[in-house]
Chain A
Amino acid sequence: MEKFIRHTGVGVPLRRSNVDTDQIIPAVYLKRVTRTGFEDGLFAAWRGDETFVLNNPAFASGSVLVAGPDFGTGSSREHAVWALKDYGFKAVLSSRFADIFRGNSGKQGLLTGQLSQDDIELIWKALENAPGTEVTVDLDQRVVTCGEIVAPMQVDDYTRWRLMEGLDDIGLTLRHTDAIDDFEAGRPSHKPRTLV
């Protein structure tokens, strides 16, 4: 997993609250057998509406999603995170995230930064006044800057450490490969094997 320390990219104002994982990616996209290519399912139900923010060319290359409160509620599908990442988003900012979504994001290297709703509103206005404006998300310093706006960002210590080290769950476990090797060396030989 790539390390996340600081990122600057086009901010996308998503003026909606309670965006659930069904809206992030509808169930019909779940039948796939790959881990990539979910960008076409991202916000699929809204993409047909030409006024939808991602249909504005100035926002289309966005990488920082600035969303309303209660982002990521509903079913626990990991595909929601894959879809956002596959589209090119590196960070989602909101005043409140659903727990499971936040957990899934941390594991997959997508930053979920919590800002006050007041700061979200300020950033929304800045982005809407000048579409294509860049936002800098500094995980090291835990601040978001957008033009003149400097907003403190909450990210818990553990998630911040993992993202800055670029460790997914498997990466975390693989740090203990020595312990796994040792354990394996002591396994009784009567335990079954599928290959002979």
Chain B
Amino acid sequence: MGKTLAEKVWDAHVVRRAEGEPDLLYIDLHLVHEVTSPQAFDGLRLAGRPVRRPDLTLATEDHNTPTLDIDKPIADLTSRTQIETLRRNCQEFGVRIHSLGDVEQGIVHVVGPQLGLTQPGLTVVCGDSHTSTHGAFGALAFGIGTSEVEHVLATQTLPLRPFKTMAINVEGTLKPGVTAKDIILAVIAKIGTGGGQGYVLEYRGSALAGLSMESRMTICNMSIEAGARAGMIAPDETTFAYIDGRPHAPKGKEWDAALEYWRTLYTDDDAVFDAEVTIDADELEPFVTWGTNPGQGLPLSASVPDPESFADESEKAAARRALEYMALEAGTPLRDIAVDTVFIGSCTNGRIEDLRAAAAVVKGRKKADSVRVLVVPGSAKVRLQAEQEGLDKVFTEFGAEWRHAGCSMCLGMNPDQLAPGERSASTSNRNFEGRQGKGGRTHLVSPLVAAATSVRGTLSSPADLEPVG
């Protein structure tokens, strides 16, 4: 019997396999950030252990970094302590770090691919659940906890039981205005926030072939919101072209050898998945969430659902609670929901393509007076690139705030937060209660919907806008 993509990558990394024990899996790339690493490094220090492979480890500062006045000391004590601790740890243990102000600084999941470190067939881990992003390259990439971070630092391996595999077939052609974000929100709404538990999701099908790497990263990024351990997409010419020429891409003969290997990374025709789900790409529309988990989403043309319409009792209760928190009435058209803030950024949608898409919508327009618009590039490099293309001007002329790179309002660990009761349309990945600030209300959307919403002030798609005249 053939193997799935995930099984191929897994099997190529088994250091040790013994009856009744978890496999010992080798880790090719370990990404580190300031929130989940301090105690891992401290654990090493207590036990007198070194980092086994600093040359397979890379740290960035992202979760806590301010997006304004980045040359001033960080005001919040906890944030500052975490960042200073990371810097000290990296220096002590010989780990490369990209600090605030460095041209390669940015959200860990934007930086890895951008440097060409994220490559097909690798195992990638990070103490962060959205590590699944790197699966877009055909890598097996998943989030781990702090004690596992310490384990990888010390041994470059992890004891793990194999994941199950689920195929997500996305067949057909996307309508204009429908993006990767809409695909993944529809997938999560379909299988539920627990539907992927224990699985690696492999996204496949005709609708994926035409997608850019940025779009594929958006999809894999949110696999975790369906409960999955990881998401993957088989590498193809688009993948290879993206990596080619990046700082850490293999060169010369190494490139040829890598390419030869990468071309073997696909699910065999006779491989069997533990589960399969199919999504009709032709039917998809811009998708937005109305509730307080990423599975509570609907097409933008729909209305806020009536909790009583759910068959399942726990879903009913969840919907009731969500509507109360979100201050929404059942039956309200989603398009009528007015927002206070639009956030464009995060490891889900903070890449150059996302900024280009949003800029194209807002170019030559003025934002609605009632909204504040925050544009936060996923990395310092993305910010520079955007500025070279003049996107910063497009955004500032539109009335948006052009910020420095980081996680920012995705989780509100830095000062970028929603005030209690404030409502946002956000291109990030989690709409949990209080995620973007205590009492804040989040609607997850694509960059196109975010941009159109900032023009009209209510949830909108670019198709709802008057032509620029």
Interface residues of A (CB under 8 A from B): 1, 31-36, 78, 107, 168-170, 172-174, 176, 179-180, 183-184, 187-195
* B3 contacts chain A at the CB level, 8 A cutoff: no
Kindly list the 3 A-B residue pairs having the minimum CB-CB distance in the complex, ordered from nearest. Answer: A33-B38, A190-B258, A35-B42
CA distance A190 to B249 in the complex (A): 9
Interface residues of B (CB under 8 A from A): 15-16, 24, 26, 28-29, 38-39, 42-43, 46-47, 49, 52, 54-58, 78, 81-82, 85, 96, 116-117, 119, 122, 146-147, 150-151, 154-157, 159, 248, 250, 254-255, 257-258, 261
With known contacts A31-B78, A190-B257, A194-B96, A176–B15 Cβ distance under 8 A: yes
| B interface SS class | helix
With known contacts A190-B250, A192-B29, A194-B58, A36–B156 Cβ distance under 8 A: no
| B82 partner, pick from A33, A35, A183, A194, beta carbons under 8 A | A33
Q: Min CB distance, A194 to chain B, in Å?
A: 4
Are A195 and B54 closer than 8 Å at their CB atoms?
Answer: yes
| A interface SS class | loop
Q: Which residues on B sit within 8 Å (CB–CB) of A174?
A: 154-155
Q: Taking CB as reference atom, which chain B residue is nearest A193?
A: B55
Q: Which residues on A sit within 8 Å (CB–CB) of B117?
A: 192, 194
CA distance A35 to B147 in the complex (A): 11
CA distance A184 to B122 in the complex (A): 14
Q: Taking CB as reference atom, which chain A residue is nearest B94?
A: A195
| A176 partner, pick from B24, B38, B47, beta carbons under 8 A | B24
| A180 partner, pick from B56, B147, B155, beta carbons under 8 A | B155
With known contacts A33-B81, A35-B46, A192-B116, A176–B16 Cβ distance under 8 A: yes
Q: List 10 A-B contacts (CB under 8 A).
A: A1-B47, A33-B85, A173-B151, A176-B24, A184-B156, A188-B261, A189-B254, A194-B57, A194-B96, A195-B54
CA distance A57 to B85 in the complex (A): 36
Q: Which residues on B sit within 8 Å (CB–CB) of A170?
A: 47, 49, 150-151, 154-155
Are B56 and A193 closer than 8 Å at their CB atoms?
Answer: yes
Q: Min CB distance, B116 to chain A, in Å?
A: 7
CA distance A190 to B257 in the complex (A): 7
Q: Which residues on B sit within 8 Å (CB–CB) of A184?
A: 26, 156
CA distance A192 to B24 in the complex (A): 21
Are B24 and A179 closer than 8 Å at their CB atoms?
Answer: yes
Q: Min CB distance, A175 to chain B, in Å?
A: 10
With A34-B38, A194-B57 given, name 14 new contacts (CB 8 A): A33-B38, A33-B39, A33-B81, A35-B39, A36-B46, A169-B147, A169-B159, A174-B155, A176-B24, A180-B52, A188-B257, A190-B258, A190-B261, A195-B55
Are B151 and A169 closer than 8 Å at their CB atoms?
Answer: yes
Are A179 and B55 closer than 8 Å at their CB atoms?
Answer: no
Are A179 and B16 closer than 8 Å at their CB atoms?
Answer: yes
Q: Taking CB as reference atom, which chain B residue is nearest A76?
A: B145
Are B151 and A191 closer than 8 Å at their CB atoms?
Answer: no
With known contacts A170-B151, A183-B26, A192–B248 Cβ distance under 8 A: yes
CA distance A188 to B120 in the complex (A): 13
Q: Which residues on A sit within 8 Å (CB–CB) of B28?
A: 191-192
Q: Min CB distance, B105 to chain A, in Å?
A: 15
